[in-house]
Amino acid sequence: MALKIERARSERKATISLAGELDFHTSGELRTALEKVFAVPGLEVLVFDLTGLNLIDSSGLGMLLFASKEMEKRHGRVLLKTNQLVRELLKITNLERFFETA
């Protein structure tokens, strides 16, 4: 299955909604979308809506960490909207402490 990416941007907030599979094969698509979001200055909050994901692997988690580090450089924050699958994976990998979730 493919990854569906939708982007929305206001002056200081961007939302990236993901559906499908975020894995080794599709994480490059997310990186491209993130590069476009980061290219516009003034971003303070990056929201990932992950409720439509049915698979996420270590490559996908790596992209979330990449985005978090980039936002940290900009003195911004990342917020994750999660589903049960993502919440469990964040807990198992002990990454829940790095992300603000809703």
**For 27-78, how does the pLDDT look when each residue is reduced to its tens digit (9 = 90+)?**
999 999 999 999 989 999 999 999 999 999 999 999 999 999 999 999 999 9
pLDDT category at 102 given cuts 50, 70, 90 is: confident
CA distance 14 to 40: 10
CATH classification of the domain holding 49: 3.30.750.24
Bridge partners, 100 (sequence order): 79
- Check residue 48 and give its pLDDT: 98
- Check residue 19 and give its pLDDT: 98
46 burial class (0-12, 13-18, 19+ CB within 10 angstroms)? buried
Number of domains in the chain: 1
- Kindly report the pTM of this predicted structure: 0.94
- Check residue 1 and give its pLDDT: 66
Domain of 28 in residue numbering reads as 3-101
